[in-house]
């Protein structure tokens, strides 16, 4: 199995950092590694080519080569270019005065259209909108029932004329119903189809003509490989895509398909689907994805996720701890407790800086058992030990192992991981401090209104 | 249409471009390879282009390199196309594991990440079995996804197979136990189990599959006798991670590659076979009942590289 993009880039950049000056040759070495990593992340090879050329152009520039910290600048260029390519799609629909506003969800079979239709309806409800959903999938067995059941579960109204099996009239009927009953947006789920299926693509064109959508959202599976540019390109050519939703980001796909789709469709990703539940839809932030790709961990998402479970004061405290570099074992225990409450750990662990790598270095997967063990070890420590890990000498470690029913090796490993994590947090804390000072892209750590950022 | 014709019809669109590029390469006298006198003439450019073709098919960098190394070291003096075909075929030849001995009915577990084509595949497998004179029972063990049971019920009707379901939210392992018991009681040959799609990184969902396995094993000797991983041909390099995770968690015995009727080539399955030794067993070439074809490495490679359509 190949290294993750994160790991690979970290290796590359660690290697580059060791050199005091970048030569055109060392730039080429780094570029080769970046090319490999992007290909393994499923970015289409044509997109990779263009990307590498852009990075090279900037990287071999004299100013970069002769600057004091050329390696860091290459990192910055890669990050910058990725950000430029990905863009930041505003999460939401196009601002349209059309009432009802009509949205079509399109894509290949199994991409996640039906689920996304209801997720999006719920998101819109949260924005104060009044959505109505309708299925036009008359082909896949029980597809109409699927949308109906999901909508019921999510408390969303459905238009479902029992005997109507015609795509256009189902959608048009929903628009009619919305108009008469005051729904201000109609979300039209469509059957999955192949971009080369001329008849079915024609059906979508007819549907588009009939209901005049303001938004055509292309739903793409984050696990897609090289084919992404062909399918997205063809949907775009025939229908004109206005937004992209990237689904199944809860897996460990590197998501390179996002780069491919965005560069062929020319519009940014607006939403990310990260789970099967109806609330698993998030606005897309390019810098988060890129940070994740570059292995910086995603403190921001973690903080937001934590916020849903812990009080605001707790979240702010965590943020201050991270920025102030005084994260203790007690804090780690609190966090693990929170993580336990937040749901499946494997989904969260990679959000914690440094933990993603640690997880992959641990034999097997991150199992809940390890979490419980870590908590047991910390529970067997004295207050002083929890706040100052430096006092943990051999005899203390032996006592803790006995107390927690583990071995000294377990304790050692846990402490080592903690130190590693602290080191990572220090870097991230420093980065987020300097971002705030410079008033960077996302204004420090984005929090919901009312949460103090400093 | 024969199965081979169907597969070829499905693959035709996917290969137009590939074949075109290959023809150009082949026409170039500098592309003859081998360690004989011709070896020196296989230029780096040629191999780069070849690598690109393989990567575009999602075969991946490392499996592509493996293939290219073999092409480069090929002894004898053959044209590039036949050497590549030959080596690709060799990579794809993983022995199909001997059928696990055990009681009756045989149990086939169908697993995979979300939306790959598991349910459709179960319906089509039932059809293939029925055509070969066996009597399958279809078991709806996806008790999670909305209307998954209703979807599968339609397929069971189409395939004229017995159908065992439970109420939504029920324990999937319990449904499997019921289906096997029903199969035994009615003297059926095979129980096909459709499972809920799951992302392979969700440890708790993976252990749910393991529980299904254990319960099946208790219900009938040697069960599950086969575990098929359904992969979408559009999947990229993540397919390898999926295969590895499902292999570790539930011991996958074969891959079903669906949606080959699109433009995607499903090349990651080559890497899966080459690196994990799991053979491809069936390919999906459409959405209808008959659109599932037993896989043959020779035919797959032939169809991929056949010049005249
Ligand atoms: N074109 C094409 N479509 C396919 C093929 N196999 C399945 N599909 C379609 O892909 C979509 C998903 O198939 P399902 O069988 O529901 O997939 P699944 O893996 O059971 O999905 P979940 O249970 O939701 O995870 C459906 O629209 C199928 O019709 C194939 O070989 N070719
Ligand atoms: N893990 C995960 N599964 C998803 C996500 N979005 C959709 N799914 C699942 O993917 C499968 C196909 O989704 P569906 O909405 O039916 O796709 P459609 O065929 O495009 O309408 C279902 O099993 C969904 O539960 C996501 O973001 N993450
Ligand atoms: Mg659907
Ligand atoms: Mg299914």
Domain boundaries defined on chain A: 5-86, 101-292, 302-438
pLDDT for residue A315: 58
Mutate to test the pocket of ligand 2, among A112, A140, A251 (most ligand atoms within 8 A of CB): A112
Backbone angles phi, psi at B83, to 5 degrees: -65, -45
Question: At B226, is the secondary structure helix, strand, or coil?
Answer: strand
Ligand 1 touching residue B263 (CB < 6 A): no
ipTM of model over 0.85: yes
Identify the pLDDT of residue B14.
40
Whether the CB of A220 is below 8 Å from some CB of chain B: the reply is no
| Angle at B208 (CA atoms; ends A146, A255), nearest 5 degrees | 65
Task: Tell me how many residue pairs between chain A and chain B have CB atoms under 8 A apart.
Answer: 153
- CA distance, residue B199 to nearest chain A CA (Å): 6
CA distance B55 to chain A (A): 8
Distance B27 CA to ligand 1 centre (A): 40
Helices (H) and strands (E) in chain B, counts: 11, 8
Find residues 88-147 of chain A whose CB sits inside 8 Å of chain B. Answer: 108-112, 139-143, 145-146
Residues 6+ apart with CB under 8 A from A422: A325, A327
- Do residue A227 and residue B241 have CB atoms under 8 angstroms apart? no
pLDDT (0 to 100) of residue B265: 87
The rounded Å distance from CA A385 to ligand 1 centre is 54
**Residue B31: CB within 6 Å of ligand 1?**
no
Q: What tokens does B29 get? A: 């006298």
Q: List CB contacts (< 8 A) between A251 and chain B.
A: 113, 199-201, 238
- B151/A140 CB distance under 8 A: yes
The pLDDT confidence band at residue A309, using thresholds 50, 70 and 90, is low
At A177-203, the pLDDT tens digits run: 999 999 999 999 999 999 999 999 999
Q: Does B237 contact A225 at a Cβ distance shorter than 8 Å? A: yes
Cβ atoms of B208 and B172 within 8 Å: the answer is yes
pLDDT at A7 over 90: no
With contacts defined as CB-CB under 8 Å, which chain A residues touch B115? Answer: 109-112, 221, 248
Does the distance separating the beta carbons of B117 and A109 come in below 8 Å?
yes
Closest listed residue to residue B74, CA positions, set B35, B43, B38: B35
> Atom 30 (ligand 1): residue with closest C-alpha?
B259
The mean per-residue pLDDT over the stretch A280-296 comes to 76
What tokens were used for A243? 């937004």
CATH number of the domain at A5-86, out of 1.20.120.140, 2.60.200.20, 3.10.180.10, 1.10.238.10? 1.20.120.140
Cis preceding linkage at B282, omega within 30: no
pLDDT of residue B5: 55
Determine the atom of ligand 2 nearest the C-alpha atom of A280. 27
**Rounded CA gap, A389 and A386, in Å?**
6
Percent of chain A whose predicted confidence (pLDDT) is above 70 = 71
Contact between B146 and A146 using a beta-carbon 8 Å cutoff: yes
- Mean pLDDT within A70-90: 76
Q: CB distance A195–B262 less than 8 Å?
A: yes
List average pLDDT for each run of 10 residues in chain B, which is 309 residues long.
48 42 46 40 67 88 86 75 86 79 91 98 97 96 96 98 89 96 96 97 93 96 96 96 96 96 91 94 95 89 54
Rg of the Cα trace of chain B?
A: 21
pLDDT at B12: 45
Cβ <8 Å between B203 and A224: no
Residue A105: how many CB atoms within 10 A of its CB? 26
Pairing of strands A185-189, A101-106: parallel
Residue holding tokens 């289906």?
B179
pLDDT tens digits along A260-286: 999 999 999 999 999 999 999 999 988
Specify the DSSP element, H or E, that contains B44.
helix B44-56
> Model confidence at A21, in pLDDT bands (50, 70, 90)?
low
Mutational test site, ligand 1, from B117, B151, B172, B262, max ligand atoms within 8 Å of CB: B117
The predicted-structure confidence for A194-229, as pLDDT tens digits, reads as follows 999 999 999 999 999 999 999 999 999 999 999 999
* Bridge partners of residue A283, in order along the sequence: A271
CA gap B244, B44 in Å, rounded = 33
- The pick from A105, A107, A110 for probing ligand 1's pocket by mutation, whose C-beta has the most ligand atoms within 8 angstroms, reads A110
pTM, entire model: 0.77
User: Alpha-carbon torsion B196, B200, B203, B209, what sign?
Assistant: positive
Burial class (CB in 10 A: 0-12, 13-18, 19+), A53: exposed
Residue A70 has pLDDT above 70, yes or no: no
Q: What is the CB neighbour count within 10 angstroms for residue A18?
A: 9
Q: In whole angstroms, give the CA distance from residue A20 to residue B35.
A: 43
Q: How many angstroms separate the alpha carbon of residue A137 from the centre of ligand 3? A: 7
Using alpha carbons, select from B21, B85, B99, B95 the residue that is nearest to residue B304: B85
- Whole-number CA gyration radius for chain A: 25
- Nearest CA to B192 among B139, B155, B245? B139
CA of A262 to the centre of ligand 2 (A): 21
Which of A 277-336 lie inside 8 A of B, CB atoms?
A: none
Tell me if A112 CB under 6 Å of ligand 2. yes
Q: How far apart are CA A156 and CA A182, in angstroms?
A: 14
CATH 3.40.50.300 is held by the domain A101-292:
yes
The torsion region of residue A186 among left (phi > 0), alpha (psi -120 to 50) and beta comes to beta
pLDDT 10s digits, A422-453 = 777 766 555 555 444 333 222 222 222 222 22
Option in A194, A227, A228 nearest B261 (CB):
A194
Residue among A442, A421, A250, A215 at smallest CA distance from A333 = A421
In this prediction, residue A399 has a pLDDT band, given cuts at 50, 70 and 90, of: very high
Degrees to nearest 5, angle at CA B133 with B127 and B135: 65
CB contact under 8 A, B263 and A227: yes
A168 class by beta-carbon count within 10 Å (0-12 exposed, 13-18 middle, 19+ buried): middle
Q: Which residue has the higher pLDDT, A59 or A142?
A: A142
The verdict on domain A302-438 having CATH code 1.20.80.30 is: no
Instruction: Tell me the per-residue pLDDT of A86-131, one tens digit each, with 9 for 90 and over.
Output: 887 778 898 888 999 999 999 999 999 999 999 999 999 999 999 9
pLDDT tens digit string along A237-250?
999 999 999 999 99
B266 CB near ligand 1 (under 6 Å) = no
pLDDT at A62: 57
Closest CA in chain A for residue B248: A364
Compute, in angstroms, the gap from residue B113 CA to the centroid of ligand 2.
Answer: 9
Rounded Cα gap, residues A378 and A362, in angstroms: 19
The mean per-residue pLDDT over the stretch A53-62 comes to 80
* Residues pairing with A104 in the sheet: A188, A216
Q: DSSP assignment of A206-233, as one string?
A: HHHHHH--SEEEEEEETTB-TTHHHHHH
Beta pairing, strands A269-273 & A281-283: antiparallel
Q: Which of the residues A34, A141, A250 would you substitute to probe the B interface, choosing the one with the greatest number of B C-beta atoms within 10 Å?
A: A141
Of ligand 1's atoms, which has the minimum distance to the CA of residue B114? 25
Is A297's pLDDT higher than 50?
no
Residues of A in contact with B150 (CB under 8 A): 141-142, 145
Minimum CA distance residue for ligand 2 atom 17: A112
pLDDT score of A393: 92
Q: Is the CB of A409 under 6 A from ligand 1?
A: no
List of residues 6+ apart from A260 with CB closer than 8 A: A42, A43, A44, A47, A224, A226, A228, A229, A232
CB A275 within 8 A of CB A250: yes
Residue A113, pLDDT score? 98
Chain B hits for A160, CB-CB cut-off 8 Å, are: none
**Binary contact (A346, B203; C-beta < 8 A):** yes
Contact B220, B104 (CB under 8 A): yes
- Please report the pLDDT score of residue A312 as a whole number: 52
Which 186-205 residues of chain A touch chain B by CB within 8 A?
Answer: 194-196
Is there a contact between B151 and A140 (Cβ–Cβ < 8 Å)?
Answer: yes
Question: pLDDT tier at A351 (50, 70, 90 boundaries)?
Answer: low
């Amino acid at each position: 199995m190949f290294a993750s993009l994160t790991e690979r880039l970290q290796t590359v950049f660690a290697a580059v950092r060791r050199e005091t000056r970048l030569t055109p040759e060392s730039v080429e070495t780094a570029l080769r590694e970046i090319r490999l990593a992007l290909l393994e992340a499923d970015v289409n090879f044509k997109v990779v080519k263009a990307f590498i050329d852009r990075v090279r152009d900037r990287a071999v520039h004299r100013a970069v080569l002769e600057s004091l910290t050329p390696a860091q600048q290459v990192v910055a260029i890669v990050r910058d270019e990725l950000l430029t390519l990905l863009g930041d799609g505003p999460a939401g629909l196009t601002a349209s005065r059309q009432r009802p506003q009509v949205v079509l969800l399109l894509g290949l079979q199994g991409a996640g259209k039906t689920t996304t239709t209801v997720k999006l309806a719920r998101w819109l409800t949260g924005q104060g909108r009044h959505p109505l959903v309708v299925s036009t999938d008359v082909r896949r067995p029980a597809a109409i029932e699927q949308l109906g059941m999901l909508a019921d579960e999510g408390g969303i109204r459905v238009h479902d004329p029992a005997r109507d099996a015609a795509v256009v009239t189902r959608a048009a009927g929903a628009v009619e119903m919305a108009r008469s009953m005051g729904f201000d947006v109609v979300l039209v789920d469509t059957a999955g189809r192949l971009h080369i299926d001329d008849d079915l693509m024609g059906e979508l064109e007819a549907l588009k003509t009939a209901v005049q959508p303001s938004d055509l959202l292309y739903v793409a599976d984050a696990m897609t490989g090289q084919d992404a540019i062909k399918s997205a390109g063809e949907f775009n050519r025939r229908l004109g895509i206005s937004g992209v939703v990237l689904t199944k980001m809860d897996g460990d796909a590197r998501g390179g398909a996002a780069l491919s789709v965005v560069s062929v469709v020319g519009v940014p990703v607006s939403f990310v689907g990260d789970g099967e539940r109806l609330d698993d839809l998030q606005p897309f932030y390019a810098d988060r994805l890129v940070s994740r790709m570059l292995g910086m961990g995603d403190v921001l998402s973690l903080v937001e996720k934590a916020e849903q479970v812990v009080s605001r004061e707790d979240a702010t405290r965590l943020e201050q701890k991270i920025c102030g570099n005084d994260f203790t074992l007690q804090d780690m225990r609190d966090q693990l407790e929170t993580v336990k409450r937040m749901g499946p750990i494997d989904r969260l662990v990679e959000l914690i800086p440094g933990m993603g790598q640690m997880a992959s270095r641990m034999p097997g997967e991150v199992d809940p058992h390890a979490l419980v063990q870590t908590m047991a070890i910390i529970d067997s420590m004295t207050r002083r030990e929890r706040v100052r890990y430096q006092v943990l000498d051999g005899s203390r470690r032996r006592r803790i192992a006995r107390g927690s029913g583990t071995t000294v090796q377990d304790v050692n490993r846990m402490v080592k991981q903690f130190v590693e994590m602290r080191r990572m947090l220090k870097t991230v804390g420093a980065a987020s401090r300097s971002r705030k000072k410079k008033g960077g892209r996302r204004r420090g750590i984005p929090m919901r209104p009312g949460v103090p950022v400093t | 249409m024969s199965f081979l014709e169907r597969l070829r019809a499905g693959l035709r669109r996917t290969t137009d471009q590939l074949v075109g590029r290959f023809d150009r390469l082949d026409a170039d006298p500098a592309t003859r390879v081998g360690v004989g006198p011709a070896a020196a003439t296989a230029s780096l450019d040629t191999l780069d282009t070849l690598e690109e073709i393989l990567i575009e098919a999602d075969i991946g960098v490392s499996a592509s390199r493996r293939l290219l190394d073999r092409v480069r070291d090929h002894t004898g003096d053959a044209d590039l196309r036949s050497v590549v075909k030959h080596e690709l075929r060799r990579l794809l030849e993983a022995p199909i594991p001997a059928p696990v001995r055990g009681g009756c009915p045989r149990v086939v577990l169908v697993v995979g990440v979300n939306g790959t084509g598991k349910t459709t595949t179960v319906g089509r497998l039932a059809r293939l079995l029925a055509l070969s004179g066996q009597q399958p029972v279809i078991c709806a063990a996806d008790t999670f996804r909305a209307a998954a049971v209703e979807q599968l019920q339609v397929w069971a009707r189409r395939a004229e197979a017995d159908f065992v379901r439970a109420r939504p939210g029920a324990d999937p392992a319990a449904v499997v136990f019921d289906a096997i018991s029903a199969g035994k009681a009615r003297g059926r040959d095979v129980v096909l189990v459709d499972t809920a799609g799951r992302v392979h990184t969700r440890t708790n969902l993976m252990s749910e599959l393991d529980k299904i396995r254990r319960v099946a094993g208790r219900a009938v000797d040697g069960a599950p006798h086969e575990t098929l991983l359904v992969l979408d041909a559009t999947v990229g390099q993540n397919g390898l991670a999926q295969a590895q995770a499902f292999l570790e968690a539930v011991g996958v015995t074969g891959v079903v590659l669906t949606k080959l009727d699109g433009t995607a080539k499903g090349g990651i399955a080559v890497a899966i076979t080459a690196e994990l030794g799991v053979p491809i067993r069936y390919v999906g070439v459409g959405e209808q009942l008959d659109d599932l074809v037993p896989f043959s490495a020779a035919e797959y490679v032939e169809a991929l590289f056949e010049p005249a359509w």
